[in-house]
C-alpha cells in the first residue's frame, strides 16, 4: 500500500515533535519544516534520528519559514502531501503584545500562504489541511464552558491573529471545497512545553528551588484558570480530524479547569511539600508549610518560594478558559489518556532530572 505523505510546519515545537512521532508510528512519510537559527533548535526531535530502529528513511527535514510564500509553495509542490499540519506560530500570548506585527504575519498570513499554495497547486482534491486554532479565540469568554458555538472575543494580538487563521481556514473549505479543519485546542502541556509557558515555568522553577539552583519563583496572575491537557492526547486528535469523511472544526479540551495557584499546589504536593498562599495582589506569597520527611536540605518551613511580579501581568488578560469537548467525544470518540495529576507527575519528574543535571554542571565545572 502506498504510504501517506504528511508535512508539518512547526516540527521543532512541542506539538510538532509529538505529531511526527505519531505519524511515523502510523508509517507515514513525514516532512517537517524548521527555521534556520543560530543555535541548533532540534532538541525535541533529535531522538527520532537517534532511535536505533531509525525511521530516518521516512523522515525529512527542510528549512523554511511561514513568512516565505515561495518556500511554502516549493515544499508543497515537491512533496505533494496527503496531509498538511500547520502547527507553526509565534505561540506566546504575552510576547504577542510586544511583537504584534510579526505575530500577525506568521500566525495569520502564514496560514493564508499555505492555503494559497495548496489552492494554486490544484491540490484541493488531494491535500487535507489542519489548522492549529486555539481557546484564546474565546478570550473574554461569553459562556462559562466554551464549545464550537461559543462566540469569539480574542484578547491579545495572538488571539486576533488566530481569529484570522480560523476564518480563512473555514473560508477556503467553503470557497474551494478544500478539506480544511480547525482544531480549537485548549492549553496542552508536556515535558516538552516551552519553559516560558506557565506550567513548565512552575515545574522547572520548583525543581530548581528544591535542588538549590534558585530560592524563589516570580509569577504573574495566579488566579487565571485554564483547562490543561497533555499534548500527546491532543496531537492524536489533530490526526483524527483529518481521517474523518467530512471536514469539521472541533473543540479539544478536558472539561476541567484549575487556577495557576492550584497547579502550584499540585506540583508541591507531588514533591511532598505543603504550600500556603498568604496576602493578595502584588503582595501575595507562597510559603512552605511543611516538608514530608524533611527531604530537601535547601528548604525549610516558612521559606517564601512564590512571589508575584507585575512584569508577568498582561495588558489584557484571559481570566478563565474551560472547554466543552462534547462534539469531539461523540464524533471522534475523544477520551484523553492523561489527567492533570499524570501531567504534573510526568512534568515534575522530567524537570527534577534537568535541574539536578544543571546543578551538577554548576558545582563541578
- Contact positions vs ligand NAP (CB under 6 A): 9-16, 35, 37, 41, 65-67, 87-91, 106, 132, 134, 185, 187-188, 194
- Which residue in 26, 30, 20 sits closest to 1, CA to CA? 26
Q: Are 171 and 120 in contact (CB under 8 A)?
A: no
Interaction between residue 220 and ligand F7E (CB under 6 A): yes
**How far is residue 200's CA from residue 301's CA, in Å, rounded to a whole number?**
24
Q: How far is the CB of 28 from ligand F7E (least distance, A)?
A: 25
For ligand F7E, the closer of residues 271 and 318 by Cβ is 318
What are the counts of helices (DSSP H) followed by strands (DSSP E) for the chain?
Answer: 12, 15
CA 92 to chain centre: 9
Give the one entry of ligand F7E, ligand NAP, none that residue 226 binds, where binding means its C-beta sits below a cut-off of 5 to 8 angstroms depending on kind.
ligand F7E
**How far is residue 342's CA from residue 351's CA, in Å, rounded to a whole number?**
14
Q: Are 224 and 259 in contact (CB under 8 A)?
A: yes
Give the one entry of ligand F7E, ligand NAP, none that residue 318 binds, where binding means its C-beta sits below a cut-off of 5 to 8 angstroms depending on kind.
ligand F7E
Q: How far is the CB of 191 from ligand F7E (least distance, A)?
A: 15
| Assigned C-alpha cell, 75 | 515544499
Q: How far is the CB of 86 from ligand NAP (least distance, A)?
A: 7
| Assigned C-alpha cell, 263 | 497547579
Give the one entry of ligand NAP, ligand F7E, none that residue 196 binds, where binding means its C-beta sits below a cut-off of 5 to 8 angstroms depending on kind.
ligand F7E
| Assigned C-alpha cell, 346 | 510526568
Q: Are 301 and 231 in contact (CB under 8 A)?
A: no
Q: How far is the CB of 279 from ligand F7E (least distance, A)?
A: 16
Give the one entry of ligand NAP, ligand F7E, none that residue 312 binds, where binding means its C-beta sits below a cut-off of 5 to 8 angstroms depending on kind.
ligand F7E
- φ/ψ region of 279 (left if φ > 0, alpha if ψ in -120 to 50, else beta) reads left
**How far is residue 259's CA from residue 265's CA, in Å, rounded to a whole number?**
10
For ligand F7E, the closer of residues 28 and 334 by Cβ is 334
For ligand F7E, the closer of residues 79 and 146 by Cβ is 146
Q: How far is the CB of 256 from ligand F7E (least distance, A)?
A: 15
CA angle 334, 339, 341 (to 5 degrees): 175
Interaction between residue 314 and ligand F7E (CB under 6 A): yes
Q: How far is the CB of 228 from ligand F7E (least distance, A)?
A: 9
Interaction between residue 100 and ligand F7E (CB under 6 A): no
3-state secondary structure at position 184: strand
Count the residues of the shown chain that bind ligand F7E, applying the rule CB under 6 A. Answer: 22
Annotated catalytic sites, by residue? 134, 136, 158
Interaction between residue 146 and ligand F7E (CB under 6 A): no
- Give the burial class of 189: count Cβ atoms within 10 A of its Cβ; 0-12 exposed, 13-18 middle, 19 or more buried: buried
Interaction between residue 135 and ligand F7E (CB under 6 A): yes
Sites of contact with ligand F7E (CB under 6 A): 91, 93-94, 134-136, 186-187, 196-198, 201, 219-221, 224, 226, 260, 312, 314, 317-318
Amino acid at each position: 500500500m502506498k504510504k501517506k505523505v504528511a508535512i508539518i510546519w512547526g516540527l521543532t515545537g512541542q506539538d510538532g515533535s509529538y505529531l511526527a512521532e505519531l505519524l511515523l508510528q502510523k508509517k507515514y512519510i513525514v516532512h517537517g519544516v524548521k527555521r534556520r537559527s543560530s543555535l541548533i533548535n532540534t532538541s525535541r526531535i533529535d531522538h527520532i534520528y537517534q532511535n536505533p530502529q531509525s525511521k530516518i528513511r521516512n523522515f525529512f527535514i527542510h528549512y523554511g519559514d511561514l513568512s516565505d510564500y515561495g518556500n511554502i509553495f516549493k515544499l508543497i509542490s515537491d512533496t505533494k502531501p496527503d496531509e498538511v499540519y500547520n502547527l507553526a506560530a509565534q505561540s506566546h500570548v504575552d510576547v504577542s503584545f510586544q511583537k504584534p506585527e510579526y505575530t500577525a504575519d506568521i500566525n495569520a498570513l502564514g496560514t493564508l500562504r499555505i492555503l494559497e499554495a495548496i489552492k494554486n497547486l490544484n491540490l484541493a482534491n488531494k491535500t487535507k489541511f489542519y489548522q492549529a486554532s486555539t481557546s484564546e479565540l474565546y478570550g473574554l469568554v461569553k459562556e462559562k464552558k466554551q464549545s464550537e458555538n461559543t462566540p469569539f472575543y480574542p484578547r491579545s494580538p495572538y488571539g486576533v491573529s488566530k481569529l484570522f487563521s480560523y476564518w480563512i481556514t473555514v473560508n477556503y473549505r467553503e470557497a474551494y471545497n478544500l478539506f480544511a479543519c480547525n482544531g480549537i485546542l485548549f492549553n496542552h502541556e508536556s515535558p516538552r512545553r516551552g519553559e516560558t509557558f506557565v506550567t513548565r515555568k512552575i515545574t522547572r522553577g520548583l525543581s530548581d528551588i528544591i535542588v538549590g539552583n534558585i530560592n524563589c519563583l516570580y509569577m504573574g496572575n495566579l488566579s487565571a484558570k485554564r483547562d490543561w491537557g497533555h499534548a500527546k492526547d491532543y496531537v492524536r486528535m489533530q490526526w483524527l480530524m483529518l481521517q474523518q469523511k467530512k471536514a469539521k472544526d472541533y473543540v479539544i479540551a478536558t472539561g476541567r479547569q484549575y487556577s495557576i495557584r492550584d497547579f502550584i499546589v499540585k506540583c508541591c504536593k507531588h514533591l511532598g511539600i505543603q504550600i500556603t498562599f498568604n496576602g493578595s495582589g502584588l503582595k501575595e506569597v507562597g510559603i512552605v508549610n511543611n516538608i514530608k520527611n524533611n527531604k530537601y536540605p535547601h528548604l525549610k518551613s516558612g521559606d517564601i518560594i512564590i512571589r508575584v511580579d507585575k512584569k508577568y501581568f498582561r495588558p489584557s488578560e484571559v481570566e478563565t478558559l474551560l472547554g466543552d469537548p462534547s462534539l469531539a467525544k461523540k464524533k471522534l470518540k475523544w477520551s484523553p489518556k492523561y489527567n492533570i495529576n499524570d501531567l504534573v507527575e510526568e512534568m515534575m519528574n522530567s524537570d527534577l532530572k534537568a535541574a539536578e543535571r544543571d546543578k551538577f554542571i554548576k558545582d563541578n565545572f
